[in-house]
A and B are shown apart, each in its own frame.
Chain A
Amino acid sequence: MLILMILFPLLLAGIAVVLPWYRIRSWLLPLGGAVQFALAVAAVSRATAAPAPWIGLDALSQLVLLVTSLLYFGCSIYAVEYLNLHSERGNRMMVACLLVFLSAMTLAVSARHLGLLWMAVEATTIASAPLIYYNRNRLSIEATWKYLIICSVGIALAMLGILFVAYSALGNGVPISLQLDQLLRTGPTLARPWLHAGFVFMLVGFGTKMGLAPLHSWKPDAYGEAPGLVGALLAGGLTSVAFLAILRGVQIMGAAGDLAMARHMLLGMGLFSLLVAAVFMVRQGDIKRMLAYSSVEHMGLLAVGVGIGGLATFGALLHLINNAMTKGCLFLSAGNIHRAFASKRLGDVRGAMSVLPVSSGLFLAGFLAITGSPPFGPFLSEFTMLRGIFAGGPMWVGGLVLTLLAIIFIGMGATVLSVTQGESNIPQIHFPDRVMLAAPPMLMLLVVLGLGLYLPELLQRLLEDAAALLEVKP
């Protein structure tokens, strides 16, 4: 079934390249997204089998797979109408790359071999670069170049880290392998210095991809210039996949008995990401760049949560779902606002509420959700994380996180309110709200709202199993 999930989008991508009809080609995306989502739900609802040597699902990857496929499904519906609006640009490249991207993401999530994981993550970089260049102007090409070079070099360092981990397995008699399960089994015998170096490089490499500060420099540019649809997939889907890759490193460190060290590093980078996000979010004059810094913030929160451990890890994994869905809603609705006003600068976009009631309502609600206001899901997950921090971690970390979250709330609020409220300054609107462009972000917001009110038992068990993978086994 997993193989089908990886190969089917590739097949559709092949069809997209040869198919001559524009509109039908766009509809390949929802087809791929729906099949993917259905298969993902089927795969998650079944009990976890013993993972195969190459690809397989454990609780962590089930969680990420569920999140990415739901997000992708929503975005693929949005994509149909979006591509219809931009029919002069052609959609062959876009549809094919989006489908290859889906396939690479699924492969990365289900990989049980570190080399395969690396290969899939690098493939996501390559498949998403043309997506960022969709607008075909000077700014988007600059963003694409930075994204390609910085992420490729970052990922190359992750490869070095993986080789270091392999080197640490050398010399204890057994044939070395990068299979995750074998590394976890032989954890205590791994040579410490090489393992530590390997984890640092993996953290730096996949951290670049995830956008943890100080490795986030490509993020505002890429998210700022990419279409909202692509921003949603990168900020919600790809970052979760990169985080999963880091968590694999954490698992190996845990198996070797060095979990505390891995956690300290994650905690440090997470707090620094929060700090950077807070600094750049205040008085940010560009909607999409603001969302990019918000993404840096939430990646930081995920790292802090896993860095503290215990209840906070559970909170971080729940936050991964919430962040992906809310980011999807925010980027898609910001894309609608951007299109209607033909600008994303704060000076040009005002009073969006009066011209785009649905999209800017969603944007405003998404802002409230992502900054952790009840009753949305992120409130619950951030609250759980904070409870975990105050219970198990140092007090100053909790205090610092709370302070930075407050600053971010104020900074983001100032920008969002000035975008949505007030008098609109454009005479007539060319792109009013449309059902197909407003429904996907609304559904994502409803999911976030639902998660804030009620956590299904199946999901709770999945999250507990996933969090247990990141603890030291007795």
Chain B
Amino acid sequence: MIELSNLCLLLVILINFFTLGSARLVACIRAVALQGALISLLPCLAHGISGHTLMLFGSAFAFKGVFIPWLLLRAIREVRIRREVEAIIGFVPTLIIGAMLTAGAFIFADFLPLFPEHQGGLYVPTSLATLFAGFMLLMSRRKAITQVLGYLMLENGIFIFGMLLTEAMPLMVEAGVLLDLLVGIFVMGIVINQINREFSSVDTARLSALKE
């Protein structure tokens, strides 16, 4: 079981890199969908199969792996994005920074006062690396929809950290959190649509009229 969960987490890190380096928007969305599906397996892999983990797997898989990517794919079909991911920082520098942040996450996790059973595991470093990658995506991309992807990766990172303490989060709350995420992304999709209608572009650099 340990090996399988480690495999999952390594794949999650690889997907981080893929998303940071890819220029194709559809590929990025699919990659984040795959990431969501992979981390939805973690509750079962980490804590064994029980009613709680199965429900968590089901809801996380449905929301993170299916519904949200579907919403995003629909959003880009509606606004008919022709140009692909536009970066403020180039792809190679992003990848290099991403690599440094991932290495930093592994080193940093060693210094954290973790409990013995979590020491040396991949959960904490992967969670931090995914968080950082999400932040990179949020900051370095100009399209509104890539910022949503960054937010989603950020949430994935937090979800991975949450695996260390599933018993703290009752199922109802966990489901509510996922529902919030889903509705949030849905509203963001609508706003993206409106941005496109107003500006005939989804470039967030155009959203700069409001300042001091």
Which B-chain residue is minimally distant from A164 (CB atoms)? B161
Interface residues as binary, A148-172 with B (CB distance below 8 Å gives 1, 0 otherwise): 1100110010011001001101110
Q: Does B51 contact A (CB under 8 A)?
A: no
Cross-interface CB contact of A126 among B158, B161, B176, B184, cutoff 8 Å? B184
Distance between A132 CB and nearest chain B CB, rounded to angstroms = 10
Q: How far is the CA of A141 from the CA of B154 in the complex (A)?
A: 24
Q: Does B55 contact A (CB under 8 A)?
A: no
> B158–A159 contact, CB under 8 A?
yes
Inside 8 A of A433's CB, which chain B residues have their CB? none
With A129-B191, A160-B158, A178-B168 as known contacts, state yes or no: A142 contacts B151, CB within 8 Å.
no
Inside 8 A of A116's CB, which chain B residues have their CB? 173, 176
> B168–A177 contact, CB under 8 A?
yes
> A153–B191 contact, CB under 8 A?
no
Inside 8 A of B199's CB, which chain A residues have their CB? 138
Q: Does B3 contact A (CB under 8 A)?
A: no
Question: Among residues 143 to 199 in chain A, which have CB atoms less than 8 Å away from a CB atom of chain B?
Answer: 143-146, 148-149, 152-153, 156, 159-160, 163, 166-167, 169-171, 175-178, 191, 193-194
Inside 8 A of A137's CB, which chain B residues have their CB? 198
Inside 8 A of A126's CB, which chain B residues have their CB? 180, 183-184, 187
The residue among A138, A143, A167 with the most chain B CB atoms within 10 A of its own CB is: A167
Inside 8 A of B208's CB, which chain A residues have their CB? 142
Distance between B121 CB and nearest chain A CB, rounded to angstroms = 13
Which A-chain residue is minimally distant from B210 (CB atoms)? A221
What is the number of contacts between chain A and chain B, taking CB atoms within 8 Å? 112
Q: Does A297 contact B (CB under 8 A)?
A: no
Which A-chain residue is minimally distant from B186 (CB atoms)? A126
Q: How many residues of A contact B (CB 8 A)?
A: 47
Q: Does A224 contact B (CB under 8 A)?
A: yes
Cross-interface CB contact of B209 among A142, A144, A149, cutoff 8 Å? A142
Q: Does B21 contact A (CB under 8 A)?
A: no
Inside 8 A of A280's CB, which chain B residues have their CB? 212
Inside 8 A of A432's CB, which chain B residues have their CB? none
Inside 8 A of A144's CB, which chain B residues have their CB? 191
Which B-chain residue is minimally distant from A115 (CB atoms)? B173
Q: Does A24 contact B (CB under 8 A)?
A: no
Which A-chain residue is minimally distant from B114 (CB atoms)? A167
Which A-chain residue is minimally distant from B190 (CB atoms)? A130
Which A-chain residue is minimally distant from B195 (CB atoms)? A141
Interface residues as binary, B98-142 with A (CB distance below 8 Å gives 1, 0 otherwise): 000000000000001101000000000000000100000010000
Which A-chain residue is minimally distant from B163 (CB atoms)? A163
Inside 8 A of B59's CB, which chain A residues have their CB? none
Inside 8 A of B207's CB, which chain A residues have their CB? 141-142, 145-146
Inside 8 A of B169's CB, which chain A residues have their CB? 115, 166, 178
Interface residues as binary, B34-69 with A (CB distance below 8 Å gives 1, 0 otherwise): 000000000000000000000000000000000000
Inside 8 A of A122's CB, which chain B residues have their CB? 177, 180, 184
Which A-chain residue is minimally distant from B148 (CB atoms)? A149
> A152–B173 contact, CB under 8 A?
no
> B168–A153 contact, CB under 8 A?
no
Inside 8 A of B147's CB, which chain A residues have their CB? 149
Distance between B133 CB and nearest chain A CB, rounded to angstroms = 14
Distance between B1 CB and nearest chain A CB, rounded to angstroms = 20
Q: How far is the CA of A381 from the CA of B173 in the complex (A)?
A: 37
> B204–A119 contact, CB under 8 A?
no
With A115-B177, A156-B154, A156-B155 as known contacts, state yes or no: A224 contacts B210, CB within 8 Å.
yes
Cross-interface CB contact of B210 among A143, A149, A166, A167, cutoff 8 Å? A143
Q: How far is the CA of A163 from the CA of B158 in the complex (A)?
A: 8
Q: Does A446 contact B (CB under 8 A)?
A: no
Interface residues as binary, A421-446 with B (CB distance below 8 Å gives 1, 0 otherwise): 00000000000000000000000000
- Give the 4 A-B CB pairs with smallest separation, nearest first: A115-B173, A166-B168, A119-B176, A142-B207
Query: CB within 8 Å of A: which residues of B?
Result: 112-113, 115, 131, 138, 144, 147, 151, 154-155, 158, 161-162, 164-165, 167-170, 173-174, 176-177, 180, 183-184, 187-188, 191, 194-195, 198-199, 204, 207-210, 212
Query: CB within 8 Å of B: which residues of A?
Result: 113, 115-116, 118-119, 122-123, 125-126, 129-130, 133, 136-139, 141-146, 148-149, 152-153, 156, 159-160, 163, 166-167, 169-171, 175-178, 191, 193-194, 220-221, 224-225, 280
- New A-B contacts (4) at CB < 8 Å, excluding given A148-B184, A175-B167, A280-B212: A119-B177, A122-B177, A163-B158, A163-B168
